Amino acid sequence: MGPGYRTAITTGSRYKLLTRLVPGLICCFLFSHANAQTTAQIMDEIRAVNNKVTNTLCSTGKGMLISNKAMNIFLSNKVSSYLSDGSDLSLYKNYVELNAAEGSIAIDHNFHQPVDSDDWVRSFTVIGARVNVANAYAARFSNKYFDNRVGFVLQQTWMGTPVPYYDKCGSQKLAMDAERAEIVTSLETEINKKAADFEHSLDGIKPADIPGQDLNTVKTKLRQEFYSALRAEYLQKFSQAQSDVLIATNNYKSVTDNWTTAGIYVPVIAQKFEVSSTSSSDVEQRYNYPLEIFVNHTQFWENSTIGRFFFTLSAKAYINNSVQSGAMYMADVSGAEATDGVNTLYLNNGNRFIGVYQNFITPVAAAKLAYIPPGSHVGVSFRIEQNIGTYHALNSILGVPIVLIDKNGVPAINFEAQLLFSDMNNAIKGELPGNKTAVGLTVGIPFSKLVY
């Protein structure tokens, strides 16, 4: 037999093989890209997720107690219990932060799009706006110049892998396996009842009810829409139910996670200051664009018996100026002065700043620890920051976070009463106006749906 004959046989074999494989590949493709169309397929998907968790080795004392998407919900509940500033994490689509000490409002939107598979949130992008409305309001009624601060924040967050810890092959892992099995059985009963009710109503549709349309085509379309929505609803219910059980039973020793956020704040308009070297010198206008770049890393630890800890290390650099760093004095519009018999004292009010003005970059290193006891809605936090360079003041904040929950037990709003200690190392030349200790309040409000 010659080469041509062997080629013909090979070609024919390949043709037969393709005619058998292509339809199968097409079916697999369509099946993998279409939502489940029967209750059995939906339950098979739920059981597959449950089996993955159940079959996790328990001998190491750590691993999955609930599915990855359920852990997203669990973490959102625990992490959203502390939301005081931009370095804190929220796993909601939208959230608002108000800072009474700075007079600012921050509005943020999370662009994360959930994946269809069972996976934890790995990373997301947040875009937000920052406005200092309180200063503008006060300036309007005190005849002072506005210290305008309006800008946008772009930040990227990378999440670590959440790790639950439990007693090795003990009651906690076994209890959660049993709880999930009960959830699966309960959901199957609900799904079958909903599907039966839907099919019964579908049987009631008559050709006369849909003139000009094919009855089978209409029913097929309605089934696709129904089972697609049913699948999404019960996958979400399965995740939510697992998270609720884990929170209610505390069948874990601890859960750890971490995340890193890098971002940039871009001001829309410049800050404007009226300055002069002395009270009798000509007044000049100076400008500053307080651009800021930052990076934060947070370690989270939730212990079922000890409580919740957040530890954050931060680094940032921003364009600072002599006015904000306390290197200049304020004088009233007439440039009035006073004297103590030896030194000239500028009146610390008004809207003109006396001294040498300059813009400069200030790096900042900071650390924050927040703690919330188990079962409590009140905690404690402490933040300390060291400014570096021309402005090198050491500042700190002692806070008392208070968490308010909704009817479902989910954190709905976070308050933090604060004591702010400024220039603890007396780095600023001269004296700060008034007391170096001030009172502040922050409010964090997560809302909209979760990003899991």
pLDDT for the residue 25 = 40
* pLDDT, mean over the chain: 83
Name the packing angle between helices 171-203 and 215-249 (round to 10°).
Answer: 160
What's this model's pTM, rounded to 2 decimal places? 0.82
Average pLDDT over residues 336-340: 48
* Residue 52 parent element (H or E): helix 39-54
CA–CA separation, 306 vs 313, rounded Å? 22
Condensed to tens digits (0 to 9), the pLDDT of residues 366-393 reads 999 999 999 889 999 999 999 999 999 9
The predicted-structure confidence for 404-438, as pLDDT tens digits, reads as follows: 988 878 888 999 999 999 889 888 765 545 568 88
Taking the CA atoms of residue 434, residue 437, residue 439 and residue 442 in that order, the dihedral angle to the nearest 10 degrees is 120
Q: Which CA distances in Å does 6 have to 13, 16, 84, 339? A: 11, 15, 76, 111
- Over the Cα atoms of the chain, what is R_g? 31
CATH number of 68-166+252-450: 2.40.160.40
